[in-house]
Amino acid sequence: MRHWLLSLLLCFLPVSNCLAVVPSTLKIALITDVHYLSPQLIKEGDALKAFEAASGRRTRELHEVLDEVLAALGREKPDILLVTGDLSNHGELVSHSGFVEKLRPLQNAGTRIYVIPGNHDILVPDPKAYKGSVSTPVKGVTPDEFARLYGDFGYDEALLRDDASLSYMVEINEKIWLLAIDSNRYNEQHSTSISGGRIRPETLEWALEILRKAREKEVMVLGMMHHGLVEHMPYQEAFFSDYLIEDWRQQANKLADAGLGVIFTGHFHANDITLHTSPAGNPIYDIETASLAQYPFAYRVMQLQGNELHVNTRFVTSIPGNPDVENESRRRLETITRRVAQNRLDIPWVPIPEEVKNNLIEMIVQLHLMHVRGDETTNPDLRESIRLFATMMGAEADMESFAFDFPPEDKEVLLTIGVK
């Protein structure tokens, strides 16, 4: 019954006024993983120092980074801005409210803004303020509260809402729809946020029905989601499965075969574009964008004309309060990556010689720093380390068949959407 009603609704969707002028080019801006922490929730002290040391973030600098990006977008005047999740630091109501106000001037200037939640946004069990010597609990948001808070940024405009999640569909113009997919697991959270994602079966069927009707009406559909739809590096499913949706390959194949040619994602805090082709030969691009909460402070400005999407990536390299913010944040990310790599490889039941372990740690650090910026290039020493790692993993040692960065280019590229 649910899908019959959805099909009926889609048949009668008002695909704009027939006399409406469809712009020849759609300018799309994209930011993600802002992790906005309201100034009302921070104050100098041990609690804030501990949070910043653990996260590698400088909270007040991140406020300036966001201001720089929104000011730049104000000058760019994009038609739409997509925000693909992790809008707040850790689900704080005050942070969500503050982020809404940050977006208002751009919206008032004429840019239509669409958001989707990330794993740090809804029903987080432990949202906190960082004031004084210890952090203290603060109020978070429920799914209904999130949709109300961001009503002006997609939910109130939605032509269709999914009953099983916070997914929705809006009409950008008579030739383009936006399908925003909620891939989060907030209803399962107990002690802290769950990083991994999935598309509920009911949500997938809802999305596939929209794609089927879009194909009938010859409408292009742009997708957006927080979690990655496809792998962006070798062994991502093995080592970083929380950054992909569950059963990603089957889900990607179904969406591609239904006609979705591109999806914008975040979550991994990296700039990467990957082309996935289903067994039936249908292509889908996953355009993953880096976080505004850490190096390299990236955002995208894209031009869609027909089925050609020109992707351009911008970076914040300095802010009024810190002209060297890019280099300093890179060094902090390097330190944190090394610490995480050490912990992951320090496993008693996996004996790795100390020299090999140290080489692997340095390889992971270098590759991660390159990956988050995009368009990775490697030197001979690094390629040899990758070869040894691939051999350890039981993969082909032939470097001609091993690519750390899947095609196409990640930062500046012209993509043809929806063509085999």
Whether the pLDDT of residue 192 is over 50: the answer is: yes
- What domains are defined for the chain? 2-12+22-318+410-416 (3.60.21.10), 325-401 (no CATH)
Percent of the chain residues past pLDDT 70, beyond the cut: 83
- Separation between Cα atoms, residue 114 and residue 49, nearest integer Å: 33
The model carries a pTM of 0.89
- Separation between Cα atoms, residue 55 and residue 86, nearest integer Å: 15
Q: What is the pLDDT of residue 346?
A: 74
* pLDDT, mean of residues 123-147: 97
Which residue's structure tokens are 């990607």? 252
- Separation between Cα atoms, residue 333 and residue 58, nearest integer Å: 12
The 3-state DSSP class for residue 134 equals strand
One-letter identity of residue 106: L
- Separation between Cα atoms, residue 334 and residue 373, nearest integer Å: 13
Whether the pLDDT of residue 355 is over 80: the answer is: no
- Higher-confidence residue: 8 or 200? 200
Residues facing residue 370 across a β-bridge: none
The whole-angstrom distance between residue 278's C-alpha and the CA centroid of its chain comes to: 22
β-sheet with 176-181: strand ranges across? 160-161, 168-173, 176-181, 220-225, 262-265, 283-288, 272-277
Q: Kindly report the average pLDDT of the chain as a whole number.
A: 89
The answer to whether the CB of 166 falls within 8 A of the CB of 182 is: yes
Q: What is the pLDDT of residue 366?
A: 86
The whole-angstrom distance between residue 241's C-alpha and the CA centroid of its chain comes to: 15
Tokens representing 344 are: 């992951």
- Separation between Cα atoms, residue 292 and residue 277, nearest integer Å: 30
Q: What is the pLDDT of residue 397?
A: 46
- 78-88 tens-digit pLDDT: 999 999 999 99
Band of residue 8 on the pLDDT scale cut at 50, 70, 90: very low
Q: What is the pLDDT of residue 391?
A: 65
Band of residue 356 on the pLDDT scale cut at 50, 70, 90: confident
Beta strands 176-181 and 298-305 are: unpaired
Between the CA atoms of 387, 395, 356 and 354, what dihedral angle is there, to the nearest 10 degrees? 170
* pLDDT, mean of residues 110-134: 97
Helix or strand holding residue 31 (H, E): strand 26-31
Whether the pLDDT of residue 281 is over 50: the answer is: yes
Whether the pLDDT of residue 5 is over 80: the answer is: no
- Separation between Cα atoms, residue 249 and residue 245, nearest integer Å: 9
Show the CA angle centred on residue 21, arms to residues 16 and 22, nearest 5°: 80
59-68, 207-216, 379-388, 391-400: range with lowest mean pLDDT? 391-400
| Length of the chain counted residue by residue | 420
Band of residue 22 on the pLDDT scale cut at 50, 70, 90: low
- Phi, psi dihedrals of residue 228, rounded to the nearest 5°: -65, 140
- Separation between Cα atoms, residue 388 and residue 373, nearest integer Å: 24
- Separation between Cα atoms, residue 413 and residue 313, nearest integer Å: 9
- Separation between Cα atoms, residue 138 and residue 335, nearest integer Å: 30
Give the DSSP per-residue string, 247-300. THHHHHHHHHHTT--EEEE-SS---EEEEEE-TTS-EEEEEE---SSSTT-EEE
- 149-169 tens-digit pLDDT: 999 999 999 999 999 999 999
- Separation between Cα atoms, residue 339 and residue 365, nearest integer Å: 9
Q: What is the pLDDT of residue 17?
A: 41
Which residue's structure tokens are 């950008």? 172
- Separation between Cα atoms, residue 177 and residue 109, nearest integer Å: 22
- Separation between Cα atoms, residue 166 and residue 117, nearest integer Å: 8
Whether the pLDDT of residue 400 is over 60: the answer is: no
* pLDDT, mean of residues 362-385: 78
The 3-state DSSP class for residue 163 equals coil
Q: What is the pLDDT of residue 353?
A: 77
CA atoms within 13 A on the CB side of 305: 6
Whether the pLDDT of residue 326 is over 70: the answer is: yes
* pLDDT, mean of residues 19-45: 88
Most confident of 190-194, 233-237, 254-258, 416-420: 254-258
